[in-house]
Amino acid sequence: MQAKSIKTEKYLSQEEIQEHLKNVEYIIMAAPAPEHFKDTPIHFTIFLNTAEQIPKDIQDAILEKFREEHGIKEPAELMSQLMPVGFAISNAQDTPMPMLLVKPEDQRSIPNVPMHVMDFLADSDNFDEAKKDSLTGWSYSYE
């Protein structure tokens, strides 16, 4: 079976994003890491629903909590900071896909909100879809 790429039909507007994120605590996303990262085969992105700077010690505690809950081994290439995040709607998914907007042109053209994002490579036996099947998935956690 060939995994199909996720085709974006539309992006949520600024107002739709605000409404969509009501009661969302965080979103965790897992995707296959680039192949040359054998020891860290999963690319994790954790989107915390806050636009506030989080102190480093709190960031460390949050990351440790996620590692314990999801069996995530030692992370590599960790980036943890406020970043613009857009949301894409596709016909294949029940929930909008969060999108970390890195390119300036994407930040200008795709409606977005600032969220604290933790982006890293790691391994976990709990995310076989990403590791073995090369699928991308995300899960919302509500307050």
Q: What are the tens digits of pLDDT across the range 61-103?
A: 999 999 999 999 999 999 999 999 999 998 778 899 999 999 9
Its pTM stands at 0.91
pLDDT in the model for residue 89: 92
Query: Which amino acid would we find at residue 34?
Result: P
Whether 3 has a pLDDT exceeding 70, the answer reads: no
Please tell me the total count of domains within the chain: 1
Residue 60 lies in a domain: yes
Residue 12 lies in a domain: no
| Separation CA 70–CA 55 (nearest Å) | 23
pLDDT in the model for residue 37: 86
| Separation CA 97–CA 11 (nearest Å) | 9
Residue 55 lies in a domain: yes
Residue 44 lies in a domain: yes
Q: pLDDT of 94-141, one tens digit each?
A: 899 999 999 999 999 999 999 999 999 999 999 989 998 889 999 999
Look at the block and give the residue holding tokens 């409404």: 19
Residue 47 lies in a domain: yes
> 69: domain range?
24-142
Residue 85 lies in a domain: yes
Residue 59 lies in a domain: yes
pLDDT in the model for residue 43: 96
pLDDT in the model for residue 91: 77
| Separation CA 95–CA 23 (nearest Å) | 14
Would you say how long the chain is, in residues? 143
pLDDT in the model for residue 38: 85
pLDDT in the model for residue 5: 60
DSSP 110-137: S--EEEEEEEEEE-BTT-HHHHTT---E
